[in-house]
Structure 1
Amino acid sequence: MRILLLAHGPSIHTRRWATALRDRGHNILLLTAHAGEDVGIPTRVVGSPSPVRALHYWSALGAVRRELSAFRPDVTVAHFLPNYGFLAALAQARPWMLVCWGSDLLTNARLSPLHRARARYVLRRAGLIHVDAAVLAEAAVALGAPLARVWTRPWGVDAGAFERAGEPRPSRNGAEAARLLWTRQLEPVYDPETFVRALGLLKRRGFTFRATMAGDGPLRASVEAWVREEDVTREVVLEGFVGSDRLRALHREGDLYISLSRSDSTSQSLLEAMAAGLVPIVSDIAGNREWVTHRQEGYLVPVGDANALACAIAEASTDPAADAYRARAGAAVKARASFADTLDQLEAKLDALAGSGSAP
Structure 2
Amino acid sequence: MRILYFSRDYSTHDHRFLSALAQTEHKIYYLRLERGSHTLEDRPLSPEIDQVEWVGGKHPATVKDSVRLQDDLRRVIRQVKPDLIQAGPIQRSAFLVALTGFHPLVSMSWGYDLLHDAKINPFWRWATRYTLHHSDAMIGDCNTIRQLAISYGMQDDRIITYPWGVDIHHFNVPSFQRVKVPTFSLLSTRGFEPIYGIDVIARAFVIAARKRPELHLTMLGNGSQAAAIRQIFLVDGVYDRVHFPGQVTYADLPTYYQNADLYISASHSDGTSISLLEAFACGTPVVVSDIPGNQEWVTPGENGWLFPDGDAEALATVILEVIDKRLVLPEMGYKARRLAETRADWEKNFPKLIAAYQLAM
TM-score normalised to structure 2 length: 0.91
Q: In 2, Cα distance between the equivalents of 1:84 and 1:299?
A: 35
Q: In 1, Cα distance between the equivalents of 2:212 and 2:239?
A: 15
Q: 1:47 aligns with which of 46, 55, 59?
A: 55
Q: Structure 1: any 5+ residue segments left out of the alignment?
A: none
Q: 1:326 aligns with which of 333, 336, 351?
A: 333
For 1:344, the aligned partner's letter is P
**1:280 and 1:50, CA in 2 relative to 1: closer, same or farther beyond 3 A?**
closer
State the Cα distance separating 1:5 from its structure 2 match: 0.8
Conserved? CA contact 1:47–1:61, under 8 Å: no
**What does the per-residue CA deviation read over 1:129-163, in whole Å, with 9 as the maximum and x for residues that have no partner?**
10111111111111111111111111110112111
Aligned residues: 351
The secondary structure found in structure 1 opposite 2:169 is helix
Report the equivalent of 1:197. Answer: 203
Q: In 1, Cα distance between the equivalents of 2:17 and 2:175?
A: 29
The secondary structure found in structure 2 opposite 1:130 is strand
The secondary structure found in structure 2 opposite 1:296 is coil
For 2:23, the aligned partner's letter is D
Conserved? CA contact 1:33–1:56, under 8 Å: no
What percent identity do the matched residue pairs reach? 31
For 2:54, the aligned partner's letter is V
Report the equivalent of 1:24. Answer: 24
**What does the per-residue CA deviation read over 1:245-297, in whole Å, with 9 as the maximum and x for residues that have no partner?**
22122112111000001111110001001111111000011111111021121
Deviates more, 1:13-22 or 1:40-49: 40-49
For 1:16, the aligned partner's letter is R
Conserved? CA contact 1:180–1:256, under 8 Å: yes
State the Cα distance separating 1:244 from its structure 2 match: 0.7
Q: In 1, Cα distance between the equivalents of 2:18 and 2:156?
A: 27
Conserved? CA contact 2:183–2:216, under 8 Å: yes
Report the equivalent of 1:267. Answer: 273
The secondary structure found in structure 1 opposite 2:298 is coil
What's the RMSD between the two structures over aligned residues?
Answer: 2.0
Q: In 1, Cα distance between the equivalents of 2:118 and 2:356?
A: 26
The secondary structure found in structure 2 opposite 1:266 is coil
Conserved? CA contact 2:106–2:356, under 8 Å: no
Deviates more, 1:118-127 or 1:24-33: 24-33
For 1:244, the aligned partner's letter is Y
Report the equivalent of 1:344. Answer: 351
State the Cα distance separating 1:169 from its structure 2 match: 5.1
Q: In 1, Cα distance between the equivalents of 2:100 and 2:76?
A: 10
Mapping of residues 1-360 of structure 1, within 5 Å: 1-34=1-34, 38-39=44-45, 40=47, 41-47=49-55, 53-168=62-177, 176-319=182-325, 320-353=327-360, 356=361
The secondary structure found in structure 2 opposite 1:210 is strand
Q: In 1, Cα distance between the equivalents of 2:216 and 2:201?
A: 13
Q: In 2, Cα distance between the equivalents of 1:206 and 1:90?
A: 56
Q: Structure 2: any 5+ residue segments left out of the alignment?
A: 36-40
Deviates more, 1:114-123 or 1:5-14: 5-14
TM-score normalised to structure 1 length: 0.92
For 1:330, the aligned partner's letter is R
Q: In 2, Cα distance between the equivalents of 1:235 and 1:199?
A: 10
Q: In 1, Cα distance between the equivalents of 2:358 and 2:155?
A: 20
State the Cα distance separating 1:112 from its structure 2 match: 1.3
Conserved? CA contact 2:33–2:93, under 8 Å: no
State the Cα distance separating 1:81 from its structure 2 match: 0.9
Q: In 2, Cα distance between the equivalents of 1:348 and 1:113?
A: 33
Deviates more, 1:115-124 or 1:320-329: 320-329
